[in-house]
Structure 1
Amino acid sequence: MNLLLQTTHSNLNAQIAVTGSKSETNRLLLLQALFPNITLANTSNSDDSEVMQMALSGNEEVVDIHHAGTAMRFLTAYFAVKDGREVVLTGSSRMQERPVKILVEALRQLGADISFLKEEGYPPIRIKGQKITNSKVTMAANVSSQYISALLLVAPKLENGIELTLEGEITSIPYIKMTLALLNDLDIQTSFEGNIIKVYPKQAVESKVMTVESDWSSASYFFSLAALSDEANISLTSYKESSLQGDSALVSIYKEMGVETQFNDGTITLTKTKKFKHNDVTFDLNNTPDIAQTIVVTCLGLGIGCHLTGLHTLKIKETDRLEALRIELSKLGANISVTNDSLTLVATSEINSNIKIGTYNDHRMAMAFAPLALKVPIIIENADVVSKSYPDFWDDMEKLGYKVSDLVG
C-alpha cells in the first residue's frame, strides 16, 4: 500500500488516544507469563505485541516472530529458562540478519542450551529450556538494552537470580531502568550500582493490575507535526509526567524546536510556540535512539541543520536506519552525511515534492516522514508497515486534517 499524503492547512487541532507503549507491554507480557496472576491494562495493539502474546501463550515447536526484534530478544531468554521446553525461534529474512550472539553468549554463561541453526550469531536458534542455577554473567555495556532487559526480566524465576556486570559505557539506560521499575512494581528486589545490576529471585508475586502508559515513541510524530505546523493544539492520552520511557525526553528536545508540552491529568497538550527562532540543533540520543528519524525529518521541515550522536544501535534495527535516512532524505534534496553512530544534516530551505519514500519494512521510517506533508505532498511506500507499532496511525493523521490517498501500483 502506497499512500499520498497532503494537507490543505497547517493549523492542527485534535485529541488522539495513542496505543500503550510497545516497550512496556512486551516487558509486562513476559512478566505475566512468568507470574500469571498479573492483569494488564492499556496494552499495545501493535503487531509486535500481538506476536509476543501469541508466542508466550502457544505450544508450537517453531516460533516465528516475523519482524519483532523485541520479541526475538525477550523470548530467547524466556525459552532458555523454561525447563523442559524446546523451541526453534525464527523470524523474517531481515530478522535473520539481526545479531543475537551477545545475548546467546550471556545466557550460555548462565548455563543455557542454545544453538544457531544457520549462520553463527544469528537466528534461527534452537533453545532447549534448562533449570538455571548460575547467577553471574558479564556483558558489554554498549549493546542494545533489549539484551540486558531480556536477562533481567527472567531473573526473578532463576533459583539464584542474576548479578549482571556491564563492561564499558552503558547504552539506553532509561530502558534498563524501565525494566527494573516494572520489576520493583511487583515487589521484586533489584539494585543498579555502578555497572552491576542485581535482580533477586522471587517465585511468586501478589495479584496486581499493571496499566501500560501510552507510547512516547509514537508521540514523537505529533511533536514533529506540532513543530512543523503554523498553529497546533494536539492532545494525547494517556501519559505520565514521571514516565518510565526514555523517549519522554521529547518534551525537552522539542522545546528547542518550538513545541511546548503541558501535562494535565494524564493528557499532554502540544502547542506551537509563537515567533520561535529556529536554530541548528545538536542532540546526544544515546538514551533515545528510536526518535532520531523523527528529529532529523523535523529539522529538514523547519529548514534547520542538526547533528545527532549516540546512534550506533540504529544499524541493527528493522533496517540500517542511518543508511535508510541518508538515502531517503537525499531524495528530498537534503545534504546529509552519516557515520556508524552519528548523523549530520545541513540546513536547506528547499524540499522536493511528491517524492516516494521507501520504508524498508521499518514502521518508524513511514511515520517519521509523514509530518513533512505539512510542507510538501509526499508518498509513503508500503505504508501499512506502521501496524508493527501503531496500527491506527493513518486514521489519526486524517483526524488532523491530512488527506491520505491510496495509490494503486
Structure 2
Amino acid sequence: MDTYKVKKLNHPINLEIAVPGSKSITNRALFLAALGTGEVHLKGVLFSEDSRCFLSSLESLGFSVEIREEEKEVIVGGCGGVIPKKEAEIHVGSAGTAARFLTAMLALSEGVYTIQASEQMKRRPMRPLFEALEQLGAEFTYLEKKGFLPVRVRGKRGGFKEASLDISRSTQFLSALLMMAPVLGEDFTIHIMSEKKDGSYIRITKKMMEQFGVECTFDGDSYHIKKGQNYQREIYEIEPDVSAACYFYAMAALTGGRTVVKNVHKDSMQGDLRFLEVLEKLGCHVTDTEAGIEVTGTNDGHYPGITVDMNDFSDQTMTLAALAPFADSPTTIRNIGHIRLQESDRLSAIAKELTKMGIQVEEGEDFLVIYPGKPQPSLVSTYEDHRMAMAFSLIGLRSEGIVIDNPLCCKKTFEDYFILLDRIIKDHR
C-alpha cells in the first residue's frame, strides 16, 4: 500500500473498538522482565515494528524470549541484570524506547556491544544519555556521527552512585537510567540538570518499577533508588494503548458521533488520557463505562478552537491539529518544541501539510496556531512518522480528496490502523 485515499463519511460514527497494547508499556515491561529474576509472563503485548525490534534485540543478547503472537503474549526469562552474551550486535530500528533503554543496559554491563539503528533513529537525540553513561564508566565509539547512533559500547558495571542528566530533549533518557539503577548494586541518585524534571512517561516508568517491586523517590530535583531492590513479577497485563485510542475518540468529535474503546479506563497510567480533557473542552461528553471510556461528540459536529499546553501529552499534538481546521475559531497548541526531535520535526510537518491543504498556520519555535478553514484535496507527506499518518487521516473523514502517502509507516506502533479505518468508513457511508 503506497498510498491510502480516505473517504469522507456521510454519517456520524457509532463505534465500539479494541486497540492494541500500549507501546510504551510493552517495551518497559520487556525491559523490566529482562532485568528481573525468573520468568515473567506478559499479556496484552503490542506486536509492532518497535516492539519486534525490542524482542529481537533481547534475543540477540541471549535472553530467553518465548513469543506467542496470536495470543498477544511473551514470556521473558530474566537474568537479574546480567546480559547472557558478553559480545553481540543489536538493531533497534526506529524504536526510541529500544534505543535509549538498551543503550543504558549495554553501557552498564560487562561486555562489548554494537548498536545499529534505522536512518530515522540515527538522527534522533542520544548525546545526553551517552554523556551520563560515560560519567558511569562506559566507553562509546561512534561508528558514523559523534553523539548519535550507531555506536560500539564497552560497558562498565557498578562503582558509581550518581549521575547528572538533561532530559529536555527526551524523557526516555531518564527512564533508561531509572530502570537500570536497581541492578547496579548501590544506592543511586540521578540529578536532573534541565528545567524539565518530570513528565507523564517518567511517571509510567516509576509506576511500572513499583509494579515490578522497586521503589523510586523524587524530591523535585533528583531521583533516588535504594540498593537491595529487585524486579520480580510472574504475570503482567499490559494496558491498551491510549495514544491509539485517541484517534478513534477524535472521530467522535469530528463527526458528532460516539466511540467506545474497549478496556480503556480513567485509571490508566498513560499520560495521553489527558487528551480526553481537550475533547471535553471541545464540547464532547466523556464517560467511563464498564466496557471502556465512551466519547460522544456534539450533535451538530461543531466545536470551538482552544488554547492548550500539550507538553505532557505531546503525541496528541497531531490529533488536535487534524481537528483544528474544522473548529469555529483558532486553535493554539503551546509548549511543544521537543516534538521537533521525534520521528520527524512534527511542528514543521504539521504546518507544511496543513498549509498544502490551504489552512492558515502560524508556526513558532514551540507552538502552533491553526485557523479554521476548508481543507483542500492533498497528498499528505508522512515523513516516515506513524503519528502523522494516523492523525492526518482524520481530516479525510470530513474533507474530500485527502490521500495519505506511505500509510504503512504506522506499523511502528499500530499495524492494522488503516485496515480498521477502512472497515469504519465502509460501515458509515
Deviations 1:4-32 (A, max 9, x none): 11034232122211001101111111111
Report the Cα distance in structure 2 between the residues aligned to 1:213 and 1:99, rounded to whole angstroms. Answer: 28
User: What's the secondary structure of 1:221's corresponding residue?
Assistant: helix
**Which of 388, 392, 406 is residue 369 of structure 1 equivalent to?**
392
**Which of 298, 304, 316 is residue 291 of structure 1 equivalent to?**
316
Following TM superposition, by how much is the alpha carbon of 1:200 offset from its aligned partner in structure 2, in angstroms?
Answer: 2.5
Q: Percent same amino acid at aligned positions?
A: 28
Gaps of 5+ in 1: 405-409
Instruction: Tell me the equivalent position of 2:70.
Output: none
Within-5 A mapping of 1:21-60: 21-35=22-36, 36-59=38-61
Report the Cα distance in structure 2 between the residues aligned to 1:161 and 1:295, rounded to whole angstroms. Answer: 42
**Which of 256, 260, 267 is residue 235 of structure 1 equivalent to?**
260
1:115 counterpart letter in structure 2? T
User: What's the secondary structure of 1:400's corresponding residue?
Assistant: helix
Instruction: Tell me the equivalent position of 1:360.
Output: 383
Native 8 Å contact 2:332 2:367 kept in 1: yes
Provide closer, same or farther for how the CA distance between residues 161 and 333 of structure 1 changes in structure 2, counting only shifts above 3 A: farther
Instruction: Tell me the equivalent position of 2:19.
Output: 18
Instruction: Tell me the equivalent position of 2:79.
Output: none
User: What's the secondary structure of 1:287's corresponding residue?
Assistant: helix
Following TM superposition, by how much is the alpha carbon of 1:168 offset from its aligned partner in structure 2, in angstroms?
Answer: 3.8
Deviations 1:203-225 (A, max 9, x none): 64444311111111111211221
Matched, 1:181 2:204: no
**TM-score, structure 2 length as denominator?**
0.89
Report the Cα distance in structure 1 between the residues aligned to 2:422 and 2:169, rounded to whole angstroms. Answer: 38
Matched, 1:278 2:290: no
Within-5 A mapping of 1:189-228: 189-202=215-228, 204-228=230-254
User: What's the secondary structure of 1:180's corresponding residue?
Assistant: helix
Report the Cα distance in structure 2 between the residues aligned to 1:27 and 1:206, rounded to whole angstroms. Answer: 14
User: What's the secondary structure of 1:368's corresponding residue?
Assistant: helix
Provide closer, same or farther for how the CA distance between residues 141 and 67 of structure 1 changes in structure 2, counting only shifts above 3 A: closer
Report the Cα distance in structure 2 between the residues aligned to 1:312 and 1:135, rounded to whole angstroms. Answer: 32
User: What's the secondary structure of 2:185's corresponding residue?
Assistant: coil
Native 8 Å contact 1:284 1:308 kept in 2: yes
Following TM superposition, by how much is the alpha carbon of 1:182 offset from its aligned partner in structure 2, in angstroms?
Answer: 0.5
Matched, 1:249 2:249: no
Report the Cα distance in structure 1 between the residues aligned to 2:328 and 2:395, rounded to whole angstroms. Answer: 11
Following TM superposition, by how much is the alpha carbon of 1:37 offset from its aligned partner in structure 2, in angstroms?
Answer: 2.6
Deviations 1:164-222 (A, max 9, x none): 11124226611111100101112212101111111223464444311111111111211
Report the Cα distance in structure 2 between the residues aligned to 1:276 and 1:395, rounded to whole angstroms. Answer: 25
**Which of 42, 56, 63 is residue 90 of structure 2 equivalent to?**
63
Report the Cα distance in structure 1 between the residues aligned to 2:14 and 2:314, rounded to whole angstroms. Answer: 28
Report the Cα distance in structure 1 between the residues aligned to 2:197 and 2:352, rounded to whole angstroms. Answer: 26
Provide closer, same or farther for how the CA distance between residues 128 and 92 of structure 1 changes in structure 2, counting only shifts above 3 A: same
Instruction: Tell me the equivalent position of 1:6.
Output: 7
Instruction: Tell me the equivalent position of 2:74.
Output: none
Provide closer, same or farther for how the CA distance between residues 276 and 56 of structure 1 changes in structure 2, counting only shifts above 3 A: same
Instruction: Tell me the equivalent position of 2:127.
Output: 101
Native 8 Å contact 1:172 1:288 kept in 2: no
**Which of 406, 426, 429 is residue 382 of structure 1 equivalent to?**
406
Instruction: Tell me the equivalent position of 1:125.
Output: 151
Report the Cα distance in structure 2 between the residues aligned to 1:179 and 1:130, rounded to whole angstroms. Answer: 24
Matched, 1:399 2:426: no
User: What's the secondary structure of 1:147's corresponding residue?
Assistant: helix
2:21 counterpart letter in structure 1? G
User: What's the secondary structure of 1:61's corresponding residue?
Assistant: strand
Instruction: Tell me the equivalent position of 2:67.
Output: none
Q: Tell me which moved more, 392-401 or 360-369.
A: 392-401
Deviations 1:203-251 (A, max 9, x none): 6444431111111111121122111103x22211222312211111011
Report the Cα distance in structure 2 between the residues aligned to 1:239 and 1:199, rounded to whole angstroms. Answer: 31
Report the Cα distance in structure 2 between the residues aligned to 1:371 and 1:119, rounded to whole angstroms. Answer: 37
**Which of 49, 53, 75 is residue 102 of structure 2 equivalent to?**
75
Matched, 1:152 2:178: yes
Following TM superposition, by how much is the alpha carbon of 1:141 offset from its aligned partner in structure 2, in angstroms?
Answer: 4.4
Following TM superposition, by how much is the alpha carbon of 1:102 offset from its aligned partner in structure 2, in angstroms?
Answer: 0.4
Report the Cα distance in structure 2 between the residues aligned to 1:314 and 1:372, rounded to whole angstroms. Answer: 21
Count of matched residue pairs: 400
Provide closer, same or farther for how the CA distance between residues 381 and 202 of structure 1 changes in structure 2, counting only shifts above 3 A: farther
Report the Cα distance in structure 1 between the residues aligned to 2:410 and 2:182, rounded to whole angstroms. Answer: 34
Q: Tell me which moved more, 201-210 or 70-79.
A: 201-210
Report the Cα distance in structure 2 between the residues aligned to 1:303 and 1:352, rounded to whole angstroms. Answer: 18
Native 8 Å contact 2:254 2:301 kept in 1: no
Q: Tell me which moved more, 361-370 or 124-133.
A: 124-133
Within-5 A mapping of 1:306-385: 306-348=331-373, 350-353=374-377, 355-377=378-400, 378-385=402-409
Q: Tell me which moved more, 359-368 or 6-15.
A: 6-15
Instruction: Tell me the equivalent position of 1:301.
Output: 326
Gaps of 5+ in 2: 62-86
Following TM superposition, by how much is the alpha carbon of 1:52 offset from its aligned partner in structure 2, in angstroms?
Answer: 0.7
Following TM superposition, by how much is the alpha carbon of 1:267 offset from its aligned partner in structure 2, in angstroms?
Answer: 1.2
Native 8 Å contact 1:153 1:179 kept in 2: yes
